[in-house]
Structure 1
Amino acid sequence: MATRAYIGTARDVHFDDKVTEHHISDLNGKEREEYLTPIVRDPIMEMKYKEAIKGFPNRRGKVDNTKVIARKNRTSSATQRTEHTDSYTGVSSSGFRNRLDTFTDMEEEKKEETISQATYLSTCKHLNVEPTPIILKSLNEDSLIIKYHPVGNLSLKAACVALVANTMVATVDLTHADIGTTGAVYLGDVLRENLYILDLIIAENNVGSEGIKCICEALQENRALKYLNVSGNKLTEVDAGAIRDMLLENTTLKGLNASHNEFTDIGGVLLAEGIEGNDSILDIDLSWNHLRQKGARRIIESLMVNTTIARADLSFNGFHDAAVGIGELMAVTTTLTYLDLTSNRITDVDMAHFLKGFERNETLETLLIGKNPYTAPFCKQLLQIVCNNPKNKIKELDLDSQSVEIEFLDLIHTTRKERQLYINHGTVLKADLQKEATDDFSSSDPMMVLMECIAQRQLKLVDIFQSLDRDDSKTITRTELREGLQSLNIPMSGRAIDKLMKKLDVDDNGEVDFAEFMEAQREYLKKKQEKEEAGAAGVQQDETKMKEKVAKLIKMRRLAKMAKVLDSSTEKTKKKLSIDAFKMSSRRSNMNESS
């Protein structure tokens, strides 16, 4: 027995949980009436259920004739009704008659109608409200979705009456449907009776404190719902208390989205109490609130105590105040695989605490930590930990717009040799890169740089000449020399190239042929041998340093080229892989697996 206020005043209504629509279809008329007629004290409710029974197919698959007759009478009475306007659609009675004609046509085609649909139609008639086709259709499907379209109180009331005994609908999505507090109260009543709804989304509806209280109180009893989304409802500290009480009592909820609300310090403390005492939640989203200081610290402490949460979205808050705790969380967590700390004012000092714990982490697979004021060196340290720790399980690292140093690109290349890793970052700091990549040894011999590059890459002189001779004219111009050296990532600036061209072009005709190229190499090797035979002090040491510097500059030029490619494809990459889409798909897949 339960007291509800679906129609008129409150009354007692009894539903037999053992009876389903499939059972009902196998019963004859009298048996169906016995099972489906509720124990009521109101003649209107009794009449409504009897009317629904008349139109339900019997076990031989035939439809009662009374169903069609009743529907024709309903259509006839509608034509005589005076003009009126519904609060939801604003449609006059002429539009109402058209819709009823459509329903009559459906009956004439003998399309079967479930008990929920019949209940919805009869309730609409009693409430004098126009039935909504999308609601009627959805009552026989697995999802009832009415997003970004206002639903009037009477329309929602009729839908909720039908949902009470519905066994088909698993997802109810009323995002931005303007249901308000009244609608939330109706849905709370549904959750007390319905054991088949798994996902409830009432985001951006301004349900108010009374509405969220009703939903949470119902979920203290409900043992079916898996996912609840109450984001964007301007919930405050008082409402955080209702959510806390729900989390402490509910043992089946897997996902909670309370983002885009107005929880502050006290709200964070209350929510943390619920998180600590809950042992079923896998995914929690508290992004875009005002959680900071004590509230933020208590949330992090609760995540350390909780033993089930695998995904936590804390983005766009003030969790820099809990940096020490976040570091400790990274070190001790055994369940957390996804953490979003985007835009939390995390500085270099806070990042140092985070990295201290991150070195010991063995569970995290996805980390989003962009839009924070820490500097580029900490990006490098973060990736070094991922690269050097074989027990670290990071697969996705999103730094968003954080700038990185050139060495960061080299670390990416090294890390991807060992594991699959998606990394999103901002621009590459190119000041040092350009300085290093254009160092042309102006105080040294550019011929030595060229020959050393050829030696380190183990290339043949003829291959180098052919790659520089782009027009296959058997000679190399200054333009071809410059473009060829750039394509080979040989580090020389314009001034060094001029000096090299003058050295190679013996006959001073503006072009270098292969004979001149070979002669320059022989002269270089001859001078090098003479120095070695003379045994001049420091020659070997200088040569070693020169080789190291050339190797470094070749590497810098390669990374510079890589940075240019990354910069040009950043936008395309972000469009190709949407982080928000990844969050949502992963969240739902995790909850489905757990279910």
Structure 2
Amino acid sequence: MSALYLDSLSIKEDDLTSSTENVSLEEDLDSDLEPDEKPQNNKPTTTAEVYLEACRLTGVVPVSYFIRHLGTSTMDLNHHGLGPLGCKALAIALVSNYRVKQLDLSHNTFSGRGGEHLGQMLANNEGLETLDLSWNHLRMKGAVAFSAGLKVNITLKHLDLSWNGFGNEGALAMGEALKYNNTLVHLNLNNNRITNEGVGMLCKGLEFNDTLRVLLNVLVNENFVRLLETTCLEHPSLEVHYGGVGGFIAKKPPKRLDPMKVIQDYLDQRKLRLWDFFRNIDKDGTMRVPVADFRKAVQVVCITFIH
């Protein structure tokens, strides 16, 4: 699959203008990883060879850290300044890589073009389980392309897409992806310029999703809360942390406790009369109970009865 992806690689003018010239090697590549030492007249076979060839064709400097950690399950490439072309080279190499399970690519300025490359990679990769793409400026076009890949991905469970400027178009694409994706469990969409309209589109996708358990930090209004309550009835395991109306929903929102019912249950359980309850509050025997004292007594009863 990687070879096919590599064969179809082409560099466009806008790719060249966004080349990541500021990317530098963390240290010199090991001698056995040099491009000129791979077998002549053969297509790349290992992930490292595929990556080095992709870097050569895109004109970017290979990241030695990436090559050295290809055999590990966790990889941290945040703040590497990879840019769209560096993202393209990585995406090509990751298509057939099954060892890397957790990948942090945050703060790399991938832009919309990077979102396209990552979407193609995600549609084919069957190894990644956790992916952090926060702060990469994917924007609407990148969000749409990335969501298309997520739609058919079969392994990813945790995904951080915060601070990427998805907008409502990106929310619509993500909602569509969630209709079909059946592996994602945790999704962070914090700070993506998604309005109430976009959140509504996202929520429609949640109606058809049976695996997502946590959706973080979506700005909503009361209409969304009502729609979410309906969705949570169908999917009781779904948790949504959101702002805008300030709160958190896990399953069906809990009902407010009725203080008088709690007091009555408390008295019935202890075979007491209501008179006994008020007499205990009226320490001075004046037949008048200050509001503050009454509230304190009710709180004590609620805590005692509930626990």
Instruction: Indicate whether the TM-score tops 0.5.
Output: yes
Matches within 5 A, 1:351-430: 354-355=256-257, 385=302, 387-390=304-307
1:259 aligns with 2:261: no
The 1:234/1:198 distance shift into structure 2, 3 A limit, reads same
Matches within 5 A, 1:95-106: 102-104=29-31
1:163 aligns with 2:163: no
- Please state how far the C-alpha of 1:131 moved relative to its aligned partner: 1.1
Over the matched positions of the two proteins, sequence identity in percent amounts to 23
Structure 2 match to 1:116 = 47
Structure 2 match to 1:304 = 233
| Residues 229, 253 of structure 2: 8 Å contact kept | no
Which is richer in helix? Answer: 1
C-alpha distance in 1 between matches for 2:56 and 2:166: 35
1:278 aligns with 2:209: yes
Matches within 5 A, 1:185-264: 185-264=116-195
Residue identity in the other structure for 2:9: I
- Please state how far the C-alpha of 1:200 moved relative to its aligned partner: 1.6
| Residues 120, 162 of structure 1: 8 Å contact kept | yes
| Residues 139, 163 of structure 1: 8 Å contact kept | no
The 1:204/1:99 distance shift into structure 2, 3 A limit, reads closer
| Residues 11, 58 of structure 2: 8 Å contact kept | no
C-alpha distance in 1 between matches for 2:192 and 2:65: 30
C-alpha distance in 2 between matches for 1:156 and 1:195: 18
C-alpha distance in 2 between matches for 1:147 and 1:262: 23
The aligned length equals 260
Residue identity in the other structure for 1:192: A
C-alpha distance in 1 between matches for 2:195 and 2:295: 29
C-alpha distance in 1 between matches for 2:194 and 2:207: 18
Q: Of the two, which has the highest radius of gyration? A: 1
Residue among 238, 245, 250 paired with 1:318: 245
- Please state how far the C-alpha of 1:158 moved relative to its aligned partner: 1.4
Flag structure 2 segments of 5+ consecutive residues without an equivalent: 13-17, 35-43, 263-293
The 1:167/1:209 distance shift into structure 2, 3 A limit, reads same
- Please state how far the C-alpha of 1:7 moved relative to its aligned partner: 1.3
Measured against aligned partners, the alpha-carbon deviations of 1:508-563 in whole angstroms (never above 9, x if no partner) come to xxxxxxxxxxxxxxxxxxxxxxxxxxxxxxxxxxxxxxxxxxxxxxxxxxxxxxxx
- Please state how far the C-alpha of 1:291 moved relative to its aligned partner: 1.0
Structure 2 match to 1:514 = none
C-alpha distance in 2 between matches for 1:380 and 1:204: 50
The 1:99/1:228 distance shift into structure 2, 3 A limit, reads closer
The 1:105/1:234 distance shift into structure 2, 3 A limit, reads closer
The 1:354/1:328 distance shift into structure 2, 3 A limit, reads farther
- Please state how far the C-alpha of 1:221 moved relative to its aligned partner: 1.3
| Residues 266, 295 of structure 1: 8 Å contact kept | no
Residue among 10, 13, 21 paired with 1:8: 10
| Residues 149, 176 of structure 1: 8 Å contact kept | yes
SS at match of 1:121: helix
Measured against aligned partners, the alpha-carbon deviations of 1:21-65 in whole angstroms (never above 9, x if no partner) come to xxxxxxxxxxxxxxxxxxxxxxxxxxxxxxxxxxxxxxxxxxxxx
- Please state how far the C-alpha of 1:206 moved relative to its aligned partner: 1.6
| Residues 140, 169 of structure 1: 8 Å contact kept | yes
C-alpha distance in 2 between matches for 1:281 and 1:382: 37
C-alpha distance in 2 between matches for 1:207 and 1:378: 52
Measured against aligned partners, the alpha-carbon deviations of 1:428-464 in whole angstroms (never above 9, x if no partner) come to xxxxxxxxxxxxxxxxxxxxxxxxxxxxxxxxxxxxx
Residue among 330, 352, 365 paired with 2:253: 330
| Residues 271, 299 of structure 1: 8 Å contact kept | no
1:141 aligns with 2:141: no
- Please state how far the C-alpha of 1:105 moved relative to its aligned partner: 7.1
Structure 1 match to 2:22 = 90
- Please state how far the C-alpha of 1:319 moved relative to its aligned partner: 4.8
SS at match of 2:20: coil
The 1:183/1:386 distance shift into structure 2, 3 A limit, reads farther
| Residues 155, 183 of structure 2: 8 Å contact kept | yes
Residue identity in the other structure for 2:240: A
The 1:163/1:296 distance shift into structure 2, 3 A limit, reads same
- Please state how far the C-alpha of 1:272 moved relative to its aligned partner: 1.8
| Residues 327, 355 of structure 1: 8 Å contact kept | no
- Please state how far the C-alpha of 1:383 moved relative to its aligned partner: 8.0
Residue identity in the other structure for 1:261: N
Residue identity in the other structure for 1:88: T
| Residues 75, 103 of structure 2: 8 Å contact kept | yes
C-alpha distance in 1 between matches for 2:167 and 2:27: 42
Structure 1 match to 2:223 = 294
Residue identity in the other structure for 2:230: E
Residue identity in the other structure for 1:293: E
State the TM-score, normalizing by the size of structure 1.
Answer: 0.39
| Residues 235, 251 of structure 2: 8 Å contact kept | no
Structure 1 match to 2:40 = none
| Residues 236, 251 of structure 2: 8 Å contact kept | no
| Residues 98, 127 of structure 2: 8 Å contact kept | yes
Structure 2 match to 1:268 = 199
- Please state how far the C-alpha of 1:378 moved relative to its aligned partner: 8.8
